[in-house]
């Protein structure tokens, strides 16, 4: 199958957190499909999440947020280290990127961890037996690998004529299809049927 999935996301974006369930379903249904998982590093410590946003996500999906996460909503979000770590993994261990996204999101949205210091990632490093370089944990600067991914994201955003995240795109041969992830957030498994329809056109 000559098809690829592109997921533009941020690990600290609650809408992306809800959409990751769709990516998990796609990965399970199409294990041979190449996944291009692009962390946008949108959150740089200068943006807050509002309770209204969380209410909308809960209403439109199966997503829930822990009390510890909700209690820290007034804390500005910074996903720089996550972006660096996942860009490093994209090069060194691409098969771990989706599991790492799931784990990072779980720590952030379920455990309430800010994930802004190296200490926050100790359990991840231990669980996945990985040894990222120290530059990954600099929360003041994106690595060259992370910046390269953002360059790719910019190209896709120009094609889509939007910089909104999350974004799910299916590439089939020379066609690029923007998938409306909002339609499937309550029933993530239904996106598999939508992709099958595109593949069989």
pLDDT in tens, the chain (201 residues): 689 999 999 999 999 999 999 999 999 999 999 999 999 999 987 778 999 999 999 999 999 999 999 999 988 899 999 999 999 999 999 999 999 999 999 999 999 999 999 999 999 999 999 999 999 999 999 999 999 999 999 998 888 888 889 999 999 988 889 999 999 999 999 999 999 999 988
> Rounded CA gap, 196 and 198, in Å?
5
The pTM of this model reads 0.95
Beta bridge partners of 167: 8
Predicted local distance difference test score (pLDDT) of residue 137: 97
Q: What is the pLDDT at residue 94?
A: 95
CB 194 within 8 A of CB 35: no
Cβ–Cβ < 8 Å for 35, 98: yes
Residue 42 neighbours by CB under 8 Å, 6+ apart: 10, 12, 13, 79, 165
Taking a C-beta distance cutoff of 8 angstroms, is the pair 8, 156 a contact? yes
pLDDT for 159 equals 83
| Domain at 3-199: CATH architecture | 3-Layer(aba) Sandwich (3.40)
pLDDT of residue 1: 61
Q: Cβ(179)–Cβ(188) under 8 Å?
A: no
Q: Where are the beta strands (DSSP E) in 21-166?
A: 34-39
CB burial of residue 5 (10 Å; 0-12, 13-18, 19+) = buried
């Amino acid at each position: 199958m000559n098809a690829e999935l592109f997921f533009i996301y941020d690990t600290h974006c609650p809408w992306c957190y809800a959409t990751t369930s769709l990516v998990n379903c796609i990965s399970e249904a199409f294990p041979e499909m190449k996944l291009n998982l692009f962390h946008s590093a949108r959150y740089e410590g200068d943006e807050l999440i509002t309770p209204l946003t969380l209410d909308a996500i809960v209403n439109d999906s199966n997503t829930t947020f822990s009390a510890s996460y909700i209690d820290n909503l007034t804390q500005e979000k910074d996903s720089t280290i996550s972006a660096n770590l996942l860009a490093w993994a994209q090069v060194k261990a691409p098969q771990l990127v989706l599991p790492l996204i799931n784990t990072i999101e779980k720590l952030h949205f379920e455990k309430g961890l800010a994930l802004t210091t190296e200490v926050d990632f100790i359990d991840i490093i231990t669980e996945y037996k990985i040894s990222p370089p120290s530059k990954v944990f600099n929360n003041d600067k994106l690595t060259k690998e992370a910046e390269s991914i953002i360059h790719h994201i910019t190209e896709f955003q120009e094609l889509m004529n939007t910089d909104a995240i999350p974004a799910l795109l299916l590439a089939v041969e020379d066609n690029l299809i923007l998938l409306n992830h909002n339609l499937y957030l309550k029933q993530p498994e239904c996106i598999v049927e939508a992709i099958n329809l595109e593949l069989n056109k």
